[in-house]
Each structure stands twice: as structure tokens, then as C-alpha cells.
């Protein structure tokens, strides 16, 4: 028989700690925001392996399913969305024939919601706590179902990016980078789930009912999630390349215009440089201004000398299709 670590009414859980629910031969103990004190309690009452208890407090993202004979130790990580950020939440389980101990952050809602449902609804408690293995499956399944709402949010952000990524006026670089980061975090969390969920069939030894089809359904969901993440990864890479090409084209266009404008000013720059030299030049100060067209004759000839080459170049550029 399993020891009880807390009352079913979760008196200490008002502060987010330990509570237990019993249904028939199965006891579910839920621990929120674990500390060394709770781990010492588990070591005393259940004699779990010290390394497993250390893993429950570890900040490293370790995913594992280990068979210790009379119990299984399961550590899984699930993505959770906090605002616009996606973070990893660890759920640890000690699964035996007559008990299930779950350890997770209080901010991760799926296990807490199931615990609340079992505590408040006898019908729900009888349905979920048929066996410790079935209860573990339901907790994992509810956490996996939460993945789809996160995927929907990421896909919505990708659709908003798609609406503006082909706009040459606006840049979507920051939105694309944010989406790429979300997808990278999802891949890092979901990939180990796909590797280790097949090991959950070891929980079958703690259930009289055949649970293989249930765990197979969870694996199929994870497969669908992984496929969707890969599709989103390909989409965001396309958007990144498109934004880069669009920005490059825009930059090239600006540089082309500036280059052409600079080229058209070369004749004016050359003439002004020549007349800025301290040497005798026609129409200059040392030779006296030209006046056969009036007092501005020198200026008129200088302007013509500047404009004619610029116009000729502009006509040539237009003919060859440079603008």
C-alpha cells in the first residue's frame, strides 16, 4: 500500500505544495513546485532512488523513462506559453501499481486541472483513476493536447507574417526571428517526447486493461505535432528568405538610384573643379567674363557644359534599361 503525503482537500496545497486523493486501491499524490523538503519526504515514505529525486529538482531538461522494478520513474518536458514566450515545463512521475506521484510546477495547468477534477467530481475520479497507469496516461494525454493550442498561436503569427512578408515597403525581420525562436524551442522540447513516449508501454504491467492503444494514440499526436512543427519551420525559412530577397532588392534599387544620380553630377563636378583652379580660363576672372550674350554669358556656357553631358548620360541609361 502507498503512504499518503497529504489530505484530499489539499490544505497545504493552498500554498501550492502536497495533496493526495485515493480511489479504491489507487492513490494519487500531487506535488507542486517541489523543494528538497518534499523530496526528503518521498525518500522517507517511498524509498525512491536518490538520483530520481535529484532529477525532479534538476534545471536540466532531461527526458527519461526508467524501470525500477516495482515502480517507473518518468520525466517528461512539455512546452507552455507564457505571453509570447514558449518555455519548458517538467512533469515527473513515480508510477507503481497502487499509487502515482506527480511532481510539476504550479504554473503548468493540465495536471493541476485533472487533480482538481478528480478531487471535486466523484464520477470523474472513478473514470480517471481506474488504475495508476491509466491515470498517468490521462495526465500525459492532457499535456500533449495542450500542445495544439500553442501550435495554433504560432501558426496565427505565421499567417500574420505571410500577409506582409511580400510587401516591399515593410520589413518583417523581427516578427520572423520571433517565430523562428518559438519554432526552435518547440522542436527542442517535442523531439525528446517522440523518442521516449514509446517506452511508456512499460506502464502496462501496472494495469489489467490493455493500454497500448492509448499510448499509441499519444504517440500519433506527438507525431502530428512534430510534423506540423517541421512544416512551420519550412514556412518560416521561406518567409526569411523572401524577406531577405525583398530587402536586398529594395537596397539595390536605392543604391542604383543614388549611383545614377551621382553619375549625372560628374560633369558638373568636373567643370566646377576646373573653374575652381587658380589658372587662366575662358570666362574666368583672370581673362575677364564673356559678354557677347550679356553679363551672364560665362554662367550660361558653364551650365550648358554641365547639363548636356548629364542629359546625354540620362538618355543612354534609359536606352539600356538602367532606369
For residue 36, the enclosing domain spans 12-247
7 located within any domain = no
Q: How far apart are CA 228 and CA 78, in angstroms?
A: 16
Domain assignment present for 312: yes
Q: Does any domain span residue 5?
A: no
Q: Is the pTM of this model over 0.85?
A: no
Q: Are residues 296 and 197 in the same domain?
A: no
Render 15-37 in DSSP notation, one character per residue: GS-EEEEEETTEEEEEEES--HH
254 in a domain, yes or no?
A: no
The answer on 158 and 50 residing in a single domain is yes
Residues 222 and 283 in one domain: no
User: How far apart are alpha carbons 176 and 155 in whole angstroms?
Assistant: 12
Whether residue 97 is found in the same domain as residue 239: yes
Please give the pLDDT value at position 8: 45
Confidence label for 121 from pLDDT (cuts 50, 70 and 90) = confident
The verdict on 299 and 170 lying in the same domain is no
The number of domains in the chain is 2
Is 218 inside a domain boundary?
Answer: yes
56-76, pLDDT tens digit by residue? 988 776 888 999 989 999 999
User: Do 95 and 181 have their domain in common?
Assistant: yes
pLDDT tens digit sequence for 93-103: 999 999 999 99
Q: Are residues 31 and 92 in the same domain?
A: yes
**Residue 252 covered by a domain:** no
Amino acid at each position: 500500500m502507498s503512504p499518503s503525503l497529504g489530505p484530499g482537500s489539499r490544505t497545504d496545497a493552498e500554498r501550492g505544495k502536497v495533496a493526495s486523493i485515493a480511489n479504491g486501491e489507487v492513490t494519487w499524490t500531487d506535488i507542486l513546485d517541489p523543494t528538497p523538503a518534499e523530496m526528503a519526504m518521498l525518500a522517507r515514505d517511498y524509498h525512491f532512488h536518490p538520483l530520481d529525486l535529484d532529477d525532479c529538482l534538476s534545471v536540466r531538461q532531461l527526458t527519461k523513462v526508467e524501470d525500477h522494478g516495482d515502480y517507473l520513474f518518468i520525466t517528461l518536458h512539455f512546452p507552455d506559453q507564457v505571453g509570447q514566450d514558449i518555455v519548458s515545463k517538467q512533469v515527473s512521475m513515480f508510477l507503481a501499481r497502487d499509487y502515482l506521484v506527480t511532481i510539476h510546477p504550479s504554473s503548468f495547468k493540465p495536471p493541476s486541472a485533472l487533480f482538481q477534477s478528480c478531487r471535486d467530481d466523484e464520477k470523474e475520479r472513478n473514470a480517471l483513476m481506474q488504475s495508476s497507469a491509466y491515470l498517468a496516461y490521462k495526465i500525459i494525454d492532457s499535456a500533449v493536447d495542450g500542445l495544439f493550442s500553442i501550435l495554433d498561436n504560432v501558426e496565427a503569427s505565421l499567417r500574420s507574417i505571410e500577409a506582409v512578408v511580400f510587401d516591399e515597403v515593410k520589413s518583417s525581420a523581427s516578427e520572423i526571428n520571433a517565430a523562428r525562436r518559438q519554432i526552435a524551442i518547440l522542436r527542442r522540447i517535442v523531439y525528446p517526447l517522440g523518442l521516449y513516449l514509446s517506452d511508456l508501454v512499460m506502464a502496462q504491467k501496472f494495469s489489467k486493461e490493455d493500454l497500448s492503444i492509448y499510448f499509441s494514440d499519444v504517440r500519433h499526436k506527438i507525431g502530428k505535432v512534430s510534423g506540423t512543427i517541421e512544416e512551420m519551420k519550412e514556412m518560416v525559412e521561406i518567409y526569411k528568405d523572401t524577406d531577405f530577397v525583398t530587402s536586398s532588392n529594395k537596397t539595390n534599387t536605392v543604391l542604383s538610384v543614388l549611383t545614377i544620380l551621382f553619375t549625372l553630377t560628374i560633369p558638373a563636378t568636373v567643370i566646377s573643379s576646373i573653374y575652381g583652379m587658380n589658372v587662366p580660363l575662358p570666362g574666368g576672372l583672370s581673362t575677364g567674363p564673356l559678354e557677347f550674350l550679356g553679363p551672364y554669358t560665362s554662367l550660361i556656357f558653364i551650365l550648358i557644359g554641365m547639363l548636356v553631358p548629364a542629359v546625354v548620360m540620362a538618355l543612354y541609361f534609359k536606352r539600356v534599361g538602367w532606369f
